[in-house]
Structure 1
Amino acid sequence: MIALLLVAVALANIAQPYPDLAPLQHGPTVLLLLAAPWLLRRWPLSDRAVMCIALFLFLHTLGARYIYSYVPYDDWARMLAGRDISTVFGLRRNGYDRLVHFAFGALLTGPLAETARRHGGLTRVWSVLFAFAAIGLGSALYEIFEWLLTLIAAGGTADYYNGQQGDIWDPQKDMAAAQIGSALTVLSAIFPLRRK
């Protein structure tokens, strides 16, 4: 999975449409992937948890190629289905970043809970509550990082990177999307679907 993710990052940088922002978008992913063998030996996780992390990183890598605001999912949907997603759902902005924030909560709550249970000694209930809180903290810290970037980076770079697309409530909506994703994962852990 690590090798596949590294290949995905490499492919995402071929004919990169936003070369100035590519290091900022892909650099942390590459560093995490390079550290992953050591991290997974030190704090092993189940295959399911690693798959959730890998799926999130694949979604992030795709978004990072297009600096999130310009992922051409409407073009892809028109080619495949003849209709675009924005029209179907009444979206006035590119919603890919919101999807990835939702995925952050939905996909990483399980691995965080597993880590807290396996390596932190928390009970099942406390580990799930810890993961839910950690998603909120991680989301808030990321939005603060984006805000600090707008203070440090040149105006155009900051606007491109943080992808607000003119929405002054973008940070709050992003954090809410992550918490909703996490809440759904928590609820599915508390009330697992029963097969008939």
Structure 2
Amino acid sequence: MHPTQSQTFPKILVALSAFYCAVFAFSAIEPSSRAVWIAEIIPAIGILVIIWWVSRHFTFSTLAYVLMFIWLCLHTIGSKYTFAEVPFDWFNQMIGSERNNFDRVAHFSIGLYALPITEYLYKKQLMTKWPAILFGLFAIMSLAAAYEIIEWWYAALAGGDEGIAFLGSQGDIWDAQKDMLCDTLGAITALTLFVMTQRKQA
């Protein structure tokens, strides 16, 4: 007898997905650039599908689900405005920056996926704790580098204002390197949380 959908999928995943649907609908209404929105929303939808697919046979912790949806929501909001134009003045003023740092925060949130990656490998007993932690860290760093290459490729292909909007470097020649650093810092933060939660459970 097959389990019902309500038994298969955790309530936190259903609730977060419902919230994300609202964010998605908001982002789809008159985005700054429809072409940029489509290009940015594709990876978000892809990740959402992967989360649901994996959750068919593996239940992540509540913390892991929350961390994964932070990036989904931030990235989807960025797709509406383009990352350089998201209304984020309160944060920029708080850190004393003239640059819009929404994209940096979004990159940091990508790093949070290191926790669910590590959690999956460890709980499925595919790796012991510390190899799983290192794999989670290096997976995020590799993904960060790959995304910057894809971003460069799309910007060069699209060209003009659309390419610049997608790239979102805001004139910073070290933008790609700083983005990858934010990804890595997010991963380190997430893995620190993983270690702390494992100690509490021990």
What TM-score, normalized by structure 1, do the two folds share? 0.83
2:109 equivalent to 1:94: no
Q: How many residues align?
A: 184
- Could you tell me how far 1:188 is from its partner in structure 2? 4.0
CA distance in 2, matches of 1:120, 1:18: 44
Aligned pairs (5 A) from 1:153-192:
153-190=158-195
Unmatched tracts of structure 1, length 5 or more: 78-84
The change in CA–CA distance for 1:104 and 1:31 in structure 2 (over 3 A counts) is closer
Deviations 1:35-80 (A, max 9, x none): 5433321444233212211122111111221111001121xx3xxx
Deviations 1:7-48 (A, max 9, x none): 211111112222231111112223433454333214442332
Q: Which moved more, 1:45-54 or 1:29-38?
A: 29-38
Aligned pairs (5 A) from 1:19-98:
19-74=34-89, 77=90, 85-98=91-104
2:140 to 135, 148, 160: 135
CA distance in 1, matches of 2:52, 2:134: 27
Unmatched tracts of structure 2, length 5 or more: 1-15
Q: Which moved more, 1:35-44 or 1:94-103?
A: 35-44
Asked if 1 retains the 8 angstrom alpha-carbon contact of 2:44 and 2:72, the reply is yes
CA RMSD for the aligned pairs?
2.2
Deviations 1:153-186 (A, max 9, x none): 2232211101000011000000011111212333
Q: Which moved more, 1:168-177 or 1:107-116?
A: 107-116
2:139 equivalent to 1:149: no
What TM-score, normalized by structure 2, do the two folds share? 0.81
